[in-house]
Amino acid sequence: MFIEINPNNIDQRLIQQAITELRKGEIIIIPTDTVYAVACDMKHKKGLANLAKFKSLKLNKANFSIICEDLSQVADYVKQLDRVIFRILKQNLPGPFTFVLEATNEVSKIFDVSKKEIGIRIPDNKIVAALVAELGNPLAVTSLHDDEDEITDYFVDPAAIYERYDDEISFIIDGGMGHLEASTIVDCTQGQPEIIRQGIGKIEL
């Protein structure tokens, strides 16, 4: 299914259709504030297995990020943040960043593997915000592209995405054109935050 959602006038009936798929353990393609991503319900074992299968990985080898509704929800899955890190997150989220933070034991339980850290995203995208709010817990996500891939129309143009991935993924949300840059990844697990991948997000540390 290929559905168009206007981010400036979100139809909750369409959001609910996507939630129905997520709660069945299906993976869906969603817009973000960078490139398009593949997502599942973080708390659905079948969904996580399907997301890993899409990337041709075993789940215990996968390194998915999670999309949270807000910093309050982030706090459920990461260890207590110091004031400097919290301030950086508050100043830059929602936004095109992935912040790598120390994970709680809850994250290891959900992914069924020991995870000391987790990538956290709160994209500046109204469609994603509506999905996470309606779902009630984070989405597990991975970019359509691999890091070594050149970002092309197949990762940012909904029509091209549908043409390429319709046989693999049955629910695709058209939220408009994506961006030709991925998120900026900031590692916050070693004390001093460090940019480990410069993407679309600009940040001063």
pLDDT tens column, 89-109: 999 999 999 999 999 999 999
Q: Residue 186, SS3?
A: strand
pLDDT tens digit at each of 205 positions of the chain: 999 999 999 999 999 999 999 999 999 999 999 999 999 999 999 999 999 999 999 998 999 999 999 999 999 999 999 999 999 999 999 999 999 999 999 999 999 999 999 999 999 999 999 999 999 999 999 988 665 566 666 678 999 999 999 999 989 999 999 988 899 999 999 988 999 999 999 998 7
Phi/psi at 52 (5° precision): -65, -40
The answer to whether the pTM exceeds 0.75 is yes
At residue 70's C-alpha, the angle toward residues 97 and 88, to 5°, is 45
Check residue 158 and report its DSSP letter. H
Query: Distance between CA 123 and CA 69 in Å, rounded?
Result: 9
